Amino acid sequence: MYSTEKPVVKYRKDYQPSQYLIKNTNLLFQLFDDYTLVTSELKITRNPLDNRETLLPIELDGVELELVSIHLDGQVLDDSDYEKRAHTLIINKVSETFNLTTVVKILPHKNTSLEGLYTSSGKYCTQCEAEGFRKITFYLDRPEVMSEFTVRIEGDKAKYPLLLSNGNPVDRGELTDGRHFVAWHDPFVKPSYLFALVAGDLDCLEDTFTTMSGREVKLELYVDKGKLDQCRFAMDSLIASMKWDEQEFGREYDLDLYMIVAVSDFNMGAMENKGLNIFNTKYVLANKKTATDADFEGVERVIAHEYFHNWTGNRITCRDWFQLSLKEGLTVFRDQKFSEDMQSAAVERIDQVKIIRAAQFAEDSGPMAHPIRPDSYIEMNNFYTVTVYNKGAEVIRMMHTLLGKTGFRKGMDLYFDRHDGQAVTCEDFIKAMEDANGKDWSLFRNWYRQAGTPVLKVDLEKLADGHFRLNCEQSCPATPGQEHKNPFMLPIKVGFLNNTGHPVKFAETNDAAGVDETLLVMTETKQSFDIYCESDSLVPSLLRDFSSPVKLEYSYTQEELASLFAADPNPFNRWDAGQTLMTQMLMSETSKLTEDELSVVDNAFIKILNDEELDNALKSLAVMVPELNSLIGMSDNVKLDQLFAKHKQLKVHLGEKLEHTWFSIYNTTSGDTSGDRWLRNTALRYMMIANDEQHFELAATQQTHADNMTDELAALQVIANASEGYRSEYIEQFYQKWKEEELVMDKWFTAQVVNDDEAILEHVKALLNHEKFSIENPNKVRAVVGAFVAGNTSQFHNPTGQGYEFLADIIIQLNKINPQIAAGLAKQFNQWRKFDSKRQALIQEQLVRIKSLDNLSNDVFEVVDKSLQMS
């Protein structure tokens, strides 16, 4: 399955345009039970942008393909005319323009990598991004090679009544032996990574959408038989996305048909293939009984994300894979703005920043640190990262902040007008923003060039009556391959409160009118900003709405943080003040929290919970103790055992000290809205932490009688984490009720593996043998293994090292089955340099063990090798 060739590093600086382009691609898929024949007819021409003097042999990408035949301009090629290697097909004698026909045999039913063409629950489907198309046929599998595709699919009509591909259906008919065919044509040129094929027997939910120019688009959403009752929300989300993109960006859908297919075996969340999106079922299926409020939000967000890709990814795509953030960072930002309009903007922003701090900051401080536009890679799958996606979105958000909504829209309009139908670079996007707004963003480009999380240190200096100065200094730690960092352009949104906790007006010059908030733009390593205000003392509310993705250092007192937590008019910063307050306490050098510290948090929580003007969803977020992964991700050195003890101490204290308050909230909050349910279940969680025996019956009753999955799962989660007793009865009850719903079973698995119990690892291992678990299904792996290593931080890092050995065992097993998922799990080891020497030695032992494997995939090798290089 794997090549024995040494992994090759690809560098952005070495990019050269392809010498050849493929003008037309005609594909024939003949689907049989044990194999598939793929006939490819390519019209190939020399690239007019190629300036090389010599016409070189053409090298087509191809992996795990059995070559049946090959014709050049209608003539059969002799063995001497071509060379087939492990990953390429080299044809020696070619001209400026030629036609190439190949027939290959592939085995989709044995393709456990879930890349290329594979089978899932009795149906065929594809995943070609980033480099999966080369597992289908020999091709120039590069994103800048854009071609017009015509596809014919043949298969057994009884087994596969649906034969779907990109674009519009142009022909269909009957064949012999119970077979049939459907032909498709996509009028828009596209790279091979956007190709899609689905064949199967599925149910379909249909609807229509009328575009702003009056065209009617047919919408089709395909799911497994019997799941149509879980599809309406996804369809409504699609329609809302189409309408929003027209209103906000003037983007109209371009084909007459838009299809979504949900599959249960999928490495990613979803894929934006032109006109035929293929989705993980997790982001399509949702109704009140089977999906939580968070699931509904996830479906809405991912449906929107893939639809928005039609313009920011499909109509304009990447020149090369180093430019991935061009489409992904931009489209994540677009789906974030959509979600902020559909849901609570403040809650959405908090959720976005939690991902940055827990996952992206950790990536920035680890061996896989890279700019949002990477400089090199071995395996492209490893760079579908929170840096490229989420930090990339933060960089786009800074553009939006600096230009304002109107200026940003002008830049987007110019980008679409200038580059429609092209494969371009991040530089092209920045240039469109500059040209549309008359800006020079030379310094801003450092966000694309440099890895690492900038540190912003701020102090407030009182100069004279009414005159204050904000002194700012930025720095960025060294990252692999980048020792020295140049300053970034930092938009810093600022407001102020006085010493009594009330917002105050201020000005940037002594004769200007007062404002409640301003945007400061930092462009140097050290920079000061003068502020004029009548107040005697000020408490700065810095980096409002997380206006730059940096680590902020300001010497707040606990009293100042408590004041901001209680009264900051900016919802994000109010939440953030509470998180900072608790983080300071948890990450201090003391072995346990003091009574004074606990009292400060108690009082702050009471003020939040008693604030009648604050939304219940925000209240729930505000009273959550910072997540362990976030605390680790934001730190350079972590005393894990001390952190675990203090983290548990704080949660237990808050549960016990405010037990009557939690009980009152639980009994008086209606649960009619998602925010109500969120707060009510937060109260239940704290009550169970305080005294699970006393409140067990409350949780059991909620699980048994809940009329929605949000409440039912919340009850199961606290029951599964309770002390020994009746918990197994209710875990089994949930299983018997929902065992036919695969996505609910994923929740059932996860609820059990995050129990902070010394014996939990044995239970995790037992779940791997459960009849509902499959090592070949990525959702199941994420639900059990992923949830344990990422969600049960204390037990994964148990000082015995058993958690590390367990993860290494799984990575070794998955390396043979699905290297992409294996590599994702291997990244959980990337923080090892932050820990104590004993844990470092234990993790290093497992990394060495993995790297010593024969036939180690490039995916896993790259992650493990970079981790070991940091030792």
Query: With 60 as the cut, is the pLDDT of residue 828 above it?
Result: yes
The DSSP bridge pattern shows strands 538-541 and 423-424 to be unpaired
How far, in Å, CA of 515 to CA of 522, rounded? 19
* Tens-digit pLDDT profile for residues 232-253: 999 999 999 999 999 999 999 9
Beta-strand runs (E) in 368-517: 376-377, 423-424, 455-464, 467-475, 490-498
Non-local CB neighbours of 346 within 8 Å, separated by 6+ positions = 571, 572, 575, 615, 618
Residue with tokens 């409140």: 695
Helix or strand holding residue 67 (H, E)? strand 66-72
pLDDT of residue 2: 42
Beta sheet of 66-72, edge-to-edge order: 75-76, 66-72, 97-106, 36-46, 20-31, 147-156, 179-190, 168-174
799-813: average pLDDT:
98
Tokens of 380: 């492209």
Asked whether the beta carbons of 344 and 618 are under 8 A apart, the reply is yes
Non-local CB neighbours of 827 within 8 Å, separated by 6+ positions = 363, 368, 863
How far, in Å, CA of 126 to CA of 116, rounded? 5
Asked whether the beta carbons of 228 and 297 are under 8 A apart, the reply is no
pLDDT of residue 5: 65
Asked whether the beta carbons of 470 and 458 are under 8 A apart, the reply is yes
How far, in Å, CA of 93 to CA of 55, rounded? 9
Query: With 90 as the cut, is the pLDDT of residue 780 above it?
Result: yes
The DSSP bridge pattern shows strands 58-61 and 88-91 to be antiparallel
Residue with tokens 């301003």: 518
Q: Domains of the chain, with CATH numbers? A: 1-201 (2.60.40.1730), 317-449 (1.10.390.10), 455-548 (2.60.40.1840)
What DSSP state is assigned to residue 157?
T
* Tens-digit pLDDT profile for residues 387-418: 999 999 999 999 999 999 999 999 999 999 99
* Tens-digit pLDDT profile for residues 574-617: 999 999 999 999 999 999 999 999 999 999 999 999 999 999 99
- For the chain, the 3-state helix, strand and coil shares in percent, each to the nearest 5, are 45, 20, 35
Q: Kindly give the residue spans of alpha helices, DSSP state H, lying in 548-671.
A: 558-567, 571-586, 595-610, 616-622, 628-633, 640-657, 659-668
* Tens-digit pLDDT profile for residues 548-580: 999 999 999 999 999 999 999 999 999 999 999
- Closest to 748 in 3D by CA, of 715, 707, 796, 792: 715
Q: How confident is the model at residue 852 (pLDDT cuts 50, 70, 90)?
A: very high
Q: Which of 306, 348, 659, 741 is catalytic?
A: 306
- Closest to 298 in 3D by CA, of 311, 309, 312, 285: 285
What DSSP state is assigned to residue 343?
S
Q: Is 656 a catalytic residue?
A: no
Query: With 80 as the cut, is the pLDDT of residue 23 above it?
Result: yes
Non-local CB neighbours of 30 within 8 Å, separated by 6+ positions = 36, 37, 38, 39, 154, 155
Asked whether the beta carbons of 146 and 189 are under 8 A apart, the reply is yes
Q: At what angle do helices 709-720 and 742-753 cross, to 10 degrees?
A: 30
Percent with pLDDT over 70 in the chain: 99
Query: With 70 as the cut, is the pLDDT of residue 223 above it?
Result: yes
The DSSP bridge pattern shows strands 423-424 and 455-464 to be unpaired
Q: How many residues does the chain have?
A: 871
How far, in Å, CA of 468 to CA of 540, rounded? 11
221-237: average pLDDT:
98
What DSSP state is assigned to residue 322?
G
Q: Is 425 exposed, middle or buried (0-12, 13-18, 19+ CB in 10 A)?
A: buried
Rounded to 5 degrees, what are φ and ψ at 528? Answer: -120, 150
- Closest to 610 in 3D by CA, of 667, 650, 664: 664
Mean pLDDT rounded to a whole number for the chain: 97
67-79: average pLDDT:
97
How far, in Å, CA of 113 to CA of 194, rounded? 18
How far, in Å, CA of 677 to CA of 710, rounded? 8
Please give the model's pTM, rounded to 2 decimal places. Answer: 0.98
614 C-beta neighbours (distance < 10 Å), count: 15
Asked whether the beta carbons of 450 and 550 are under 8 A apart, the reply is no
Q: Is 405 exposed, middle or buried (0-12, 13-18, 19+ CB in 10 A)?
A: exposed
Tokens of 726: 């009746």
